[in-house]
Amino acid sequence: MFRRWIALLLPCSMLVAAGQPTTPAPSHIPTYTSDGRLLPPSDYREWFYLTSGLDMSYTPRVANSEGMSMFDNVFVAPEAYRAFLKTGTWPDKTMLVLESRGAESHISINKAGRSQGQDVMGVEVHLKDESRGGWAFYAFDNAVPAKMIPKEASCYSCHQQHAAVDTTFVQFYPTLLPIAMRMKTLSDSYLKEEVKDGK
Amino acid sequence: MFRRWIALLLPCSMLVAAGQPTTPAPSHIPTYTSDGRLLPPSDYREWFYLTSGLDMSYTPRVANSEGMSMFDNVFVAPEAYRAFLKTGTWPDKTMLVLESRGAESHISINKAGRSQGQDVMGVEVHLKDESRGGWAFYAFDNAVPAKMIPKEASCYSCHQQHAAVDTTFVQFYPTLLPIAMRMKTLSDSYLKEEVKDGK
């Protein structure tokens, strides 16, 4: 999911038109400008945390060819999380945020492994809005409202083909995957891939 | 912080006496049994997320000599987080939770890097409770209330000597370190180490 988003959204983010900074959205409810751009979620660090990955990639190589190492942290709006706990899937208006941060070595007294740095390398949103055609991706450049990434982008087809629940990569959310398994909300395509992989 | 807690608390956790499972604490307020054991925080995954590390260690070696790779996720109770944003330090009753999870490779369509697994390898709490002598560590074995780790354990002296703010490793919390810097709440010992390291 992480590296998928990154790998697919970095080129996609070239499509994000610049605009005037706007007051960030104050809540978990998606808020759009009059021309349909999504306001960046201002308070996602106070949402519920789902997981982190380090240098994940959906191609068999080191994620970042420039030798850069990154953590990806995923957050979800609390209302959507609580709905998932009850139903095993996502309600309308669900917002997932993928935050990318540099992975650092030898910070302070840390002598091995990686810690997270202060620089946010990217913020992307995966938003389910039935009134606007269902799930959509947005990539933010600082606090500027973002245009929806066009549905032809490969991120959509990849999530459709490989994501465990409702086009989201719940297979990487350790507290939610067991719920989806119990509630039998795993997608057919994901279940077929797991069988194929002998899992 | 992470690997520090792990490295120091794994031996310390040998001190945690077994006991009968108890209903987990329902809130962010520390709750003790009549014999002074801390109830495990049941809902910490719904607290505010601070950071994650991968295989961090405070000794110059691979963190886990058995070749095991682990993520550490840190959460803090929302009230304490909001107080820190205002003051640059922690109020009484602050609870920080360190959750350790296995780091997995080649899960689903991920071809590189690491993702987080479902198995929780450890849950530890760092709690500031002035009515009980200040900051204390607890290591939980499943949902069993935990005895305080004795103050003679090296985790205490290490946090005292190296932690950036009020014996906590804020140097690894990317959203809070800038606040502590601005509010000048960094510890003298941390500042001296940073100068010594030429930072």
Q: A36-50: per-residue pLDDT in tens?
A: 999 999 899 999 999
pLDDT, tens digit, for every residue of A64-113? 555 789 999 999 999 999 999 999 999 999 999 999 999 988 888 887 88
For the cut 70, the answer to whether the pLDDT of residue B101 exceeds it is yes
Is 50 exceeded by the pLDDT of residue B21? no
**Residue A164: closest CA among chain B residues belongs to which residue?**
B108
pTM of the predicted protein model: 0.86
**B159: helix, strand or coil:** helix
At residue A53, the pLDDT reads: 95
Residue found under tokens 């996720």: B73
pLDDT of A25: 46
pLDDT tens digits, one per residue of B118-133:
999 999 999 999 999 9
Chain B, nearest residue to A173 by Cα: B116
What pLDDT shows up at residue A130? Answer: 96
Contacts of A71 in chain B (CB under 8 A): 52, 54
Among A113, A174, A190, beta carbon nearest to B56: A113
Q: How confident is the model at residue B112 (pLDDT cuts 50, 70, 90)?
A: confident
* Local confidence band at B109 (pLDDT 50, 70, 90 cut-offs): confident
Q: What is the pLDDT of residue A110?
A: 85
pLDDT category, A61, cuts 50, 70, 90? low
B178-197 residues touching A, CB cutoff 8 A: 178, 190, 193-194
Is B110 in contact with A3 (Cβ distance < 8 A)? Answer: yes
Choose between B18 and B26: higher pLDDT: B26
**Residues whose CB falls within 8 Å of the CB of residue B111, separated by 6 or more in sequence, listed in order:** A57, A58, A59, A60, A61
Residue B34 Cα, gap to closest chain A Cα (Å): 32
From A3-7, A177-181, B171-175, the region with the lowest mean pLDDT: A3-7
**Burial classification of residue A199, based on how many CB atoms lie within 10 Å of its CB (0-12 exposed, 13-18 middle, 19 or more buried):** exposed
Among chain B residues, the shortest Cα distance to A178 is held by: B118
User: Which structural domains are found in chain A, ordered by start?
Assistant: 2-150 (3.50.70.20)
Task: State chain B's mean pLDDT as an integer.
Answer: 84
